[in-house]
């Protein structure tokens, strides 16, 4: 489990608490030192007063302290004891008590030691604590007279009550002063810490705004040298971020423009299969909204299981992979997908980039090419095999029989004519395609009705043979820029097909009118329609009937003598004019072909009027 973050304290309180700790330590040390010194001074003052009293007593003592002088000595001692507030004891040279009379010579080993030192001519002192009174007692013993043979010894004793009271008052006053100084110093330290922390907080705020992407913020100057270095570093970082942001922005715009202009779909996912980026082409292929798909798992937005499995393989594989997928929908599409794994800065799996390319049209072209090769081979093979077979029959002796020879030669002639028709149609189709690709088809303003009537006139004999009526309905004055022979050939092919696949006593309509190629299209067109009451075409054949050699009913088509190229020629003739062709059919009801030929602006205006 991750460790809990330590509690954070603001910089101002760090400085303030540090200053207060240092200040408290200094105040305590100073107060302790001052208290000790005051106590020493108080002791020294008390000692000097006691010595002064002892000296005063010693100086006023007579040569003899006994006998007749005892009364005067007692008076002197009493006066000094009363004036000084101390206790004065007087001893003779042998340390025997004189005043007060009857007191023992010593009150302990300490006093005996002091008296012995005084007999040797030295001033002695002692300090002890009296547990009975709770006071500290100070004693001074001073000899009077010749050193070594004193005439008297004076002992002055006093307690520390008054001295301690005075010392306590001084200490309290000193403590109050220290506390006042400490408070003032603490307030001053807080102001200094606050001022220092304001600069730090300002720089922290600038850093936060830079981290949030606000690169227009200004980095303020700092008074402290260290903070000034931080401010300079932040300013340098801001400039670098601005420059990098501009660079990344340009790269992002360029990348977006490149991805948006690509016809291939590009899909980027991370290691957890979340969509990182998707361009418009990929979104259109997969039926997604790019804004809603980003940052969502691929499994949520893409329903195709093959693509999801491919994404997993792309993430795991170190080498690029590719495959063909089928996307189901209103129109099934074949997608060529290529996947490349991505690695992050540490070399771990970072996701994958998947490129989707719609190859439906190319696959259809490949199928058409294969079918064309197979169909043209079959179409050519059939008459060639028939010709070869009958020629071999003739060579084997049938030529000697005039009846068989004539019949066989007739069959050979028909098959040769069929070969010639196929080759002529192929050559015509090739010429039309070359003209269509070069865009140099010679056009002239021609009336559509005249072209239709010429085509009907050409087809009338075949219609009469099957008792099929041809009816024409065409708007007057409908003029289109066209190549009349080619358009006539296209109409002939459509009418000829209508006659071939219609039962006798049926009707074929040929009409022309002003219109448009698609609903909502503003480009005016002449719409030429050829409708029949024939057997019709099943829906699955409609997308391919304009392919070369594609036959709906192969046996019937060959029986009718068709080459399988008529509708393909129609399609390319119309496309060479910049138009389009469409077909509608219902089995058992009939078929309608429509040619959409673009009109010039002047012709369109005349036609619409």
Structure letter (DSSP) for residue 68: G
Domain 364-437 has CATH 1.10.630.10: no
Backbone angles phi, psi at 400, to 5 degrees: -75, -15
State the burial class of residue 255 (Cβ atoms within 10 Å of its Cβ: 0-12, 13-18, 19+): middle
Whether the pLDDT of residue 363 is over 80: the answer is no
Tell whether pTM > 0.85: no
pLDDT above 90 covers what percent of the chain?
4
Check pLDDT > 50 for residue 93. yes
Whether the per-residue pLDDT at 318 is higher than 70: the answer is yes
Phi, psi of 529 (to 5 degrees): -120, 140
* pLDDT recorded at residue 487: 87
How far does Cα 32 stand from its chain's mean position?
Answer: 64
Q: Which of 193-197, 419-423, 569-573, 600-604 has the lowest mean pLDDT?
A: 600-604
> What was the pLDDT predicted at 70?
66
pLDDT at 178 over 70: yes
Question: 40 exposed, middle or buried (CB, 10 Å; 0-12, 13-18, 19+)?
Answer: exposed
Q: What is the pLDDT of residues 137-154, one digit of tens each?
A: 888 888 887 777 788 888
Res 105: pLDDT: 45
Maximum average pLDDT range among 17-31, 140-154, 291-305, 518-532: 17-31
Instruction: Kindly state the tokens that stand for 537.
Output: 């075409």
Each residue's pLDDT tens digit, 568-602: 888 888 888 888 899 998 888 889 999 998 886 54
Residues 6+ apart with CB under 8 A from 14: none
Write down the pLDDT at residue 252. Answer: 66
Q: What is d(CA 204, CA 599) in angstroms, rounded to the nearest whole number?
A: 73
Band of pLDDT at residue 603, cut at 50, 70 and 90:
very low
If pLDDT is split at 50, 70 and 90, which confidence band does 544 have?
Answer: confident
| Per-residue pLDDT tens over the stretch 47-70 | 888 888 888 888 888 776 666 666
Candidates 3.40.50.300, 1.20.58.1610, 3.30.450.20, 3.10.270.10; CATH matching 11-167: 3.30.450.20
Q: What is the pLDDT of residue 372?
A: 63
Point out which residues pair with 524 in neighbouring strands. Answer: 516
H/E segment holding residue 416: helix 402-438
Name the class of domain 262-358: alpha beta
Instruction: Spell out the domain ranges in the chain.
Output: 11-167, 222-261, 262-358, 364-437, 441-608
pLDDT of 104: 47
- The pLDDT confidence band at residue 106, using thresholds 50, 70 and 90, is very low
Bridge partners (DSSP) listed for residue 97: 91
Terminal CA-CA length for the chain? 85
Structure confidence at residue 341 as a pLDDT band (50, 70, 90): confident
Give residue 530's pLDDT. 92
Mean pLDDT for all residues in the chain: 78
- What is the per-residue pLDDT for 592? 92
The predicted-structure confidence for 439-498, as pLDDT tens digits, reads as follows 667 888 889 899 899 888 888 888 888 888 899 888 888 888 988 888 888 888 888 888
Q: Does the pLDDT of residue 236 top 60, yes or no?
A: yes
User: What are the residues facing 528 on neighbouring strands?
Assistant: 512, 595
In terms of residues, how long is the chain? 609
The reply to whether 11-167 and 262-358 are identical in fold is yes
* pLDDT at residue 259, as a whole number: 63
As assigned by CATH, the class of the 441-608 domain is: alpha beta
* pLDDT attached to residue 529: 92
Burial of residue 238, with CB atoms counted within 10 A of its CB: 0-12 exposed, 13-18 middle, 19 or more buried: buried
pLDDT of residue 563: 60
pLDDT computed for residue 435 by the predictor? 65
pLDDT band at 180 (very low <50, low <70, confident <90, very high): very high
Q: Where are the alpha helices (DSSP H) in 501-587?
A: 554-559, 566-576
pLDDT of 255 reads 65
CA dihedral 334, 336, 342, 348 (to 10 degrees): 70
Q: What is the pLDDT of residue 411?
A: 73
């Amino acid at each position: 489990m991750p460790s809990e973050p330590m509690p954070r304290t603001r910089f101002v309180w760090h400085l303030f608490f540090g200053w207060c700790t240092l200040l408290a330590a200094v105040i305590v040390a100073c107060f302790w030192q001052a208290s000790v010194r005051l106590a020493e001074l108080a002791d020294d003052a008390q000692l000097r007063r006691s010595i002064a009293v002892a000296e005063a007593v010693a100086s006023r003592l007579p040569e003899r302290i006994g006998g007749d002088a005892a009364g005067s000595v007692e008076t002197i001692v009493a006066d000094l004891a009363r004036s000084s507030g101390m206790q004065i004891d007087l001893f003779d040279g042998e340390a025997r008590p004189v005043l007060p009379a009857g007191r023992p010579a010593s009150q302990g080993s300490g006093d005996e030691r002091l008296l012995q030192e005084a007999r040797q001519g030295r001033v002695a002192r002692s300090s002890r604590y009296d547990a009975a009174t709770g006071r500290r007692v100070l004693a001074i013993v001073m000899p009077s007279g010749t050193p070594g043979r004193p005439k008297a010894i004076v002992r002055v004793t006093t307690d520390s009550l008054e001295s301690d009271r005075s010392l306590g008052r001084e200490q309290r006053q000193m403590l109050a002063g220290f506390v006042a100084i400490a408070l003032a110093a603490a307030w001053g330290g807080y102001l200094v810490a606050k001022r220092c922390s304001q600069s730090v907080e300002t720089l922290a705020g600038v850093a936060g705004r830079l981290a949030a992407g606000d690169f227009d913020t200004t980095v303020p100057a700092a008074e402290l040298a260290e903070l000034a270095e931080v401010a300079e570093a932040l300013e340098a970082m801001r400039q670098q971020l601005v420059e990098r942001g501009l660079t990344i922005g340009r790269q992002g715009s360029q990348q977006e423009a490149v991805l948006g202009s690509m016809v291939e779909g590009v899909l980027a996912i991370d290691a957890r299969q979340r969509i990182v980026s998707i361009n418009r082409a990929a979104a259109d292929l997969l039926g997604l909204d790019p804004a809603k798909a980003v940052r969502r798992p691929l499994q949520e937005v893409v329903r195709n299981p093959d693509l999801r499995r491919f994404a997993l393989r792309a993430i795991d594989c170190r080498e690029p992979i590719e495959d063909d997928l089928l996307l189901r929908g209103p129109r099934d599409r074949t997608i060529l997908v290529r996947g490349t794994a991505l690695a992050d800065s540490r070399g771990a799996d970072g996701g994958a980039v998947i490129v989707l390319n719609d190859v439906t049209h190319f696959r259809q072209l490949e199928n058409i090419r294969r079918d064309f090769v197979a169909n043209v081979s079959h179409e050519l093979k059939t008459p060639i095999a028939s010709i070869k077979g009958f020629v071999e029959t003739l060579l084997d002796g049938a030529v000697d029989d005039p009846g068989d020879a004539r019949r066989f030669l007739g069959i050979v002639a028909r098959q040769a004519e069929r070969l010639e028709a196929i080759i002529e149609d192929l050559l015509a189709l090739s010429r039309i395609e070359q003209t269509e690709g070069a865009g140099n088809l010679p056009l002239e303003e021609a009336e559509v009705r005249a072209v239709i009537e010429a085509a009907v006139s050409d087809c009338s004999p075949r219609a009469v043979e099957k008792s099929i009526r041809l009816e024409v309905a065409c708007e007057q004055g409908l003029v289109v820029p066209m190549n009349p022979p080619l358009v006539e050939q296209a109409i002939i092919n459509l009418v000829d097909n209508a006659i071939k696949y219609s039962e006798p006593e049926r009707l074929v309509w040929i009409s022309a009118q002003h219109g448009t190629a698609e609903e909502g299209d503003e480009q005016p067109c002449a719409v030429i329609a050829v409708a029949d009451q024939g057997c019709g075409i099943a829906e699955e054949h409609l997308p391919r009937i304009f392919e070369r050699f594609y036959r709906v009913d192969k046996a019937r088509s060959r029986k009718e003598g068709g080459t399988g190229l008529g509708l393909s020629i129609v399609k390319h003739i119309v496309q060479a004019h910049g138009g389009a062709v469409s077909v509608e059919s219902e089995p058992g009801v009939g078929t309608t072909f429509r040619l959409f030929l673009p009109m010039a602006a002047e012709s369109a205006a005349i036609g619409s009027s």
